[in-house]
Each structure stands twice: as structure tokens, then as C-alpha cells.
Amino acid sequence: GNSVTQMEGPVTLSEEAFLTINCTYTATGYPSLFWYVQYPGEGLQLLLKATKADDKGSNKGFEATYRKETTSFHLEKGSVQVSDSAVYFCALSDLQTSYDKVIFGPGTSLSVIP
Amino acid sequence: DAEITQSPRHKITETGRQVTLACHQTWNHNNMFWYRQDLGHGLRLIHYSYGVQDTNKGEVSDGYSVSRSNTEDLPLTLESAASSQTSVYFCASSEGLAGAHINSYEQYFGPGTRLTVT
């Protein structure tokens, strides 16, 4: 079945450091890929997405590229801020096999210290 | 602005009691979902609905039920609360494939309900 694997952390970085959170997926069809972010005390919100191979999603300085050959969708940011402290979820939606459902990874907790 | 709300935000109840968590969305979305979030388990799907009168079981549906009588609401009922159901519950909605564009399956989340069963 479909699944998402990501580094679980917690990840602690100093402000302005480079961030990478690894995400790999397993899917039988042609999924769309997402990164969701959950700030403390809030629900999840969509951060970025990519709907086909080689697409790059970007938002708020975060980027992720859909790599079909390595089944990966790693999240990167060049210079993190304290306000980026949150839990990040990699996710996929495969309309061919899991109609309208989103499969979430376990989440990666990020703490950015000044 | 369209939104998705949950109530109550916090609830403490006793083992064996019936509890209902409300979810209301004004996006006019076809799809609605209930998840629970627990440390070490991430998000787990409890129940979901693709439209009025439609409900489906997710991966952790035992002890929970839902009903969809209109587009806006998907209440989640714990028939007889157990301590193992202490968790944070999130409701989400998406437009669904009936929507006009490929992004119709993006999910929008409510703020969550923290439930404690004592």
C-alpha cells in the first residue's frame, strides 16, 4: 500500500542554519506530494505541494522537489527562523488507489533557537 | 472567509460516557475527515465522508462513529469513552474529485479538540 517515511527528529537548529527534512514515499500510482506544517496549538496547514515528477513546490522560503527516480520529496530551507519552529508532515495523495485520502508521515519536530 | 471549526476545544470526560465532538465547515466541501494525533503515531484516520449520507471507516475506527446529514457537519461520537481515546482530534475537509480542478484534494484542518478520558 501507499506509505510515507520521514525523519522523525526532533531536529534542533540555530537561527539562519540550513534545513533539510528527508521524506520518501511508496505509491502504486502517480501521487501528488505535500508538506504540511503544524504550529504549536494549531491544526495542520498546507505548506507546499507538487503534483508530478520534477515539479518543485515552494512557499515561505521552503522548497521541495518531486523526485520520482528516488521516490523522495525532501523539504529544504536555506535560512531558518525561530518562527519556523513547528512539526512538519510529509504526505501523499494517490487518486488511483486511495481516492481523495491523504497519507501522512509521522511528522518531524523542528526547534529553531536564537 | 470560509473556515472549519471544532468544538469544544478542550473536553474532559469519564470512562464509559458518550462524547460527541463537533466539526463544521463553511467551505462547501464534499469530503470530511476525522483524525487523531498521538505522540509516536502521527495522524491516524478515524472516519471519513465523501458526501451527505456517506461514511467510511478509517484505520482506527473502533469505538467511534460519524454521521453526515448535511454538507457542513461531521460530528464524531465516542460511544463509550475509554482512556485509550485520550488524544487530540482533528477534523479536515477537502473539495474532492467533484471539484473542478486538480487541487481539489488539498485538506483544510480545524484547530483540534483535546480530549481527556479519566
Assess B88–A contact: CB distance below 8 Å, yes or no: no
A14 by Cβ neighbours in 10 Å (0-12 / 13-18 / 19+) ranks as exposed
Cross-chain Cβ contact B96/A46 below 8 Å: no
Q: Which of A100, A105, A107 sits opposite B31 (nearest CB)?
A: A100
Q: Which grid coordinates belong to A62?
A: 521552503
- pLDDT digits over B28-73, tens only? 998 999 999 998 778 999 999 989 999 999 989 999 999 999 999 9
What pLDDT is stored for residue B98 in this prediction? 53
Residues of chain B with C-beta less than 8 angstroms from the C-beta of A107: 42-43
Q: Do A102 and B112 touch (CB under 8 A)?
A: no
At A96, the amino acid letter reads Q
Task: Please report how many Cα atoms fall inside a 13 Å half-sphere around the Cα of residue B67, on the Cβ side.
Answer: 5
Percentage of residues in chain B with pLDDT exceeding 90? 78
Chain segment A24-54, per-residue pLDDT in tens: 999 887 888 999 999 998 999 999 999 889 9
Cell, residue B92? 479536515
Which residues, listed in sequence order, are joined to residue B43 by a DSSP beta bridge? B37
pLDDT given for residue A8 in this prediction: 79
Name the pairing type of β-strands A108-113 and A56-59.
unpaired
Residues forming a β-bridge with A72: A24, A67
d(CA B36, CA B3): 20
Give mean pLDDT, residues B8-20: 97
Give the list of residues 6+ apart from residue A54 with CB closer than 8 angstroms, or none.
A65, A66, A67, A68
State how far the alpha carbon of B92 is from the alpha carbons of A45, A84, A97, B19, B89, in Å.
10, 23, 20, 19, 10
Contacts of residue B101, defined as CB under 8 A and 6 or more positions apart, other chains included, come to: none
Enter the C-alpha cell of residue A41.
496549538
Contact criterion met (CB below 8 Å) for B89 and B34: yes
User: For residue B107, what is the DSSP state?
Assistant: -
CB contact under 8 A, B92 and A44: yes
pLDDT at A94: 78
Start-to-end C-alpha separation, chain A: 41
**A53 min Cα distance to partner chain B (Å):** 15
Please classify residue B61 by burial: count the beta carbons closer than 10 Å to its beta carbon, then call 0-12 exposed, 13-18 middle and 19+ buried: middle
Query: What's the pLDDT band for A114 if we cut at 50, 70, 90?
Result: very high
Contact B112 A43 (CB under 8 A): yes
Q: What is the DSSP string of A64-92?
A: EE-BTTTTB--EEESS--GGG-EEEEEEE
Pairing of strands B87-94, B31-38: antiparallel
A102 touches chain B (CB under 8 A): yes
Partner-chain contact B45 A106, CB within 8 Å: no
In the beta sheet, which residues pair with residue B10? B114
